[in-house]
Structure 1
Amino acid sequence: MKRDLAMAFSRVTEGAALAGYKWLGRGDKNAADGAAVEVMRTLLNKTDISGEIVIGEGEIDDAPMLYIGEQVGIGGDEVDIAVDPIEGTRMTAMGQSNALAVLAAGEKGSFLKAPDMYMEKLVVGPGAKGVIDLGKPLKENLENVAKALNKPLDTLVVITLAKPRHDKVIAEMQAMGVRVFAVPDGDVAASILTCMPDSEVDMMYCIGGAPEGVVSAAVIRALDGDMHGRLLPRHEVKGDTEENRIYGSAELQRCEEMGVKANVVLKMEDMARSDNVVFSATGITKGDLLEGISRQGNIATTETLLIRGRCRTIRRIKSTHYLERKDPEVRDIIL
């Protein structure tokens, strides 16, 4: 994959973030997501790639999406793309922190192809690489990570999502003396924090979306961390109701069609098969990882985290955008 594609992908997430920002605090997460999707699709289709969306976002909450199998680009390198046009649609709609536009790209065959469903995730940084096993109890994983990091268990920091489905594991971890940071949404950013030298986060555990899981696997591999995942049908996550079982059965059928299995531990290398990847994330709202967009009239400032896996280069890019100078098909959405 050509080196200059990294900057092209950063422009894609910048555009998606600017589109989502227009809907900041307006209470309509699907409108925000739809705008980001439209701009991301438009910009990908102007990029010198022969790209395929191998994992997209949207089916879980009936939002718009870049669909799995969609072809993008004007021709060039064959590239697989995993996207989450807005990670944190609810946070964008409510004006909360940590909303991002994210994209991971790699050479063909780089990423797991899976339905848009739930995934259980366990992520650590380089210091605990090789010691996690999602097939073992959480308590054992916590003890192994603490041992690998040479830290007492009561100084270990785990980040998770503040969801009712995590209440039991949060209580379990706190009973062990572990410090738990529970954030409303945003497990891609939470995963990356495990690998940032200036972060106090040691581990991320949650049940979230599979698209975010594949994107996380790509960037965690690029940062030399470690991750395990496990696909879960909706009725095992949201409750065994008739509606959830119908959704879950459809997800399991799609897993079979796509050649993947639910309830099986996936290692990082199963989800991101190459380190020749590019990861780009642009902040929509201010968060732990990135600054949010600042806009005064038709001038906006963005911050983007751009990571190239093969050379392990990490860039933070501050950009100023004169919005009225954007291409018409983008300008009409972001203004």
Structure 2
Amino acid sequence: MEQERKTPNLRDAFMHLSWQLLEVTQNAAIAAARKAGKGDKNLADQAAVDAMRNTLDHMTGFCSNIKIGEGERDDAPMLFIGERLGRGQISIDIAVDPLENTNATADLKPGAVCVLAASAQGGLIEASDTYMDKLCVGKEAAPYIDILQPPEENIYRIAKALGREDLSQLTVTILDRPRHEELIRRVRATGARVNLIADGDLMPCIFTCFKGAGVHAVMGIGAAPEGVISAAAIKLLGGGMQAVFKPKNEADRERLLRMGIKLDHVYTPDMLAPGENLIFCATAVTPILTTTKAVLEGVSFFPGGAKTNSLVISNGFMNFVPTTHVLDGDTFVRQGSEFRLW
């Protein structure tokens, strides 16, 4: 964060950077979408990684340091922790998941998204591709949660903060994993509804900050890289998050300790993403759904082009960005394609 103090116009630079990073996730989503539905999650993941790496390496004015990569957990393609891309004068840290929810992409199902978070140098925590116990909520409930308390207690606190006397009006999103069987049972026993998801808790964590999205909380153990990315967006949106790192094994535990991670310590967004200037970008590959609505439509192709839908968040700024991309000008003109809203 030293660079934030040294660069007086960094906030202005980050406004321009937001749109360059949007292009990174857009290109990755288009590349992944071309490989979607082919039954091979690594094929789409590799396409997203390659597109993201190429776009980052050609950005003007900025040099990107991959602070949080993704892929070690399942031997998938990845951008490596410590990898540097681009040759600009301003160094930025990047936390990236080139393709969140690769299984959905392989089967052309909802929930796949290309995401990243960025900060000035030193503004994102460094951690391995491990696991993290997470509790995420919106702004109203943020001051009252405590991940060290039983899930029932947090449910009651969230309900009180939201003014919900009927706990069946609460929806808690949890990854559908054997490790969560007890958590699911206890949350349901309170009367709250549980939305079980097969993969991809990153976007649901962020959706806790959006009223009307039907995601009042996210609980349970998920991936740490996605947790850091979520933390950046949640911090920008004023929501609440508490997290505890959960190493996979002894080697992972030792690596986390070498990185300065305090095991059993409760991390907040300010600890996971301490930077003053942050950017979050997400572009959907397939539709991003909640229990009540489609928040982002997936990539659609037409002769000579593609349509993407993205979410961009930075300091004091949030926007849903639909974009029509002309990928082949000759085909676009020859076949009479149009700039479209859908």
* Aligned counterpart, 1:300: 306
* Aligned counterpart, 1:322: 326
Distance 1:19 1:275 in 2: 32
* Aligned counterpart, 1:85: 98
Q: What one-letter code is carried by the residue in structure 2 that aligns with 1:263?
A: D
Corresponding position: 1:159 with 2:173? yes
The superposition leaves residues 29-87 of structure 1 with CA deviations (integer Å, 9 ceiling, x where unpaired) of 11111111111011001112122111010000001111111111221322111000011
Q: Which runs of 5 or more residues in structure 1 are unaligned? A: 235-247, 326-335
Corresponding position: 1:218 with 2:232? yes
The superposition leaves residues 225-263 of structure 1 with CA deviations (integer Å, 9 ceiling, x where unpaired) of 0101111122xxxxxxxxxxxxx1121121122111333
* Aligned counterpart, 2:122: 109
Q: What one-letter code is carried by the residue in structure 2 that aligns with 1:255?
A: L
Distance 1:23 1:125 in 2: 35
Corresponding position: 1:146 with 2:159? yes
Distance 1:109 1:314 in 2: 23
Q: Which runs of 5 or more residues in structure 2 are unaligned? A: 1-9, 290-294, 330-342
Q: Is the 8 A contact 1:80 1:106 kept in 2?
A: yes
Q: What one-letter code is carried by the residue in structure 2 that aligns with 1:290?
A: L
Q: Is the 8 A contact 1:222 1:275 kept in 2?
A: no
Of residues 6, 10, 14 in structure 1, which corresponds to 2:26?
Answer: 14
Distance 2:276 2:308 in 1: 27
The superposition leaves residues 205-225 of structure 1 with CA deviations (integer Å, 9 ceiling, x where unpaired) of 121111100000000000000
* Aligned counterpart, 1:207: 221
SS in 2 for 1:304: strand
The superposition leaves residues 282-311 of structure 1 with CA deviations (integer Å, 9 ceiling, x where unpaired) of 000012231101112442100011111x21
Of residues 37, 41, 47 in structure 2, which corresponds to 1:35?
Answer: 47
Corresponding position: 1:26 with 2:49? no
Corresponding position: 1:230 with 2:244? yes
SS in 2 for 1:7: helix
Q: What one-letter code is carried by the residue in structure 2 that aligns with 1:83?
A: V
Distance 1:111 1:130 in 2: 23
SS in 1 for 2:140: helix
**CA 41–172 in structure 1, closer or farther in 2 if over 3 Å, else same:** same
SS in 2 for 1:158: strand
Q: What one-letter code is carried by the residue in structure 2 that aligns with 1:21?
A: A
Q: Is the 8 A contact 2:183 2:220 kept in 1?
A: no
- Between the two proteins, what is the percent identity of the paired residues? 41
* Aligned counterpart, 2:89: 76
Distance 2:220 2:31 in 1: 28
Give the drift of 1:275.
4.2
Q: What one-letter code is carried by the residue in structure 2 that aligns with 1:189?
A: M
**TM-score, with length taken from structure 2:** 0.88
* Aligned counterpart, 1:282: 283
Q: Please, which moves more after superposition, 263-272 or 41-50? A: 263-272
Q: Is the 8 A contact 1:88 1:98 kept in 2?
A: yes
Q: What one-letter code is carried by the residue in structure 1 that aligns with 2:169?
A: T
SS in 1 for 2:124: coil
Give the drift of 1:16.
0.6
Stretches (4+) displaced over 2 A: 261-264, 322-325
SS in 2 for 1:143: helix
Distance 2:206 2:305 in 1: 29
Distance 1:76 1:93 in 2: 38
Q: What one-letter code is carried by the residue in structure 1 that aligns with 2:233?
A: V
Q: Is the 8 A contact 1:100 1:282 kept in 2?
A: yes
Give the drift of 1:179.
0.9
**TM-score, with length taken from structure 1:** 0.89
The superposition leaves residues 122-173 of structure 1 with CA deviations (integer Å, 9 ceiling, x where unpaired) of 1000111211111221111111111111212232211122222222211111
Distance 1:298 1:7 in 2: 23
| Equivalent residues in 2 for 1:184-263, closer than 5 Å | 184-234=198-248, 248-263=249-264
Distance 2:254 2:169 in 1: 43
* Aligned counterpart, 2:73: 60
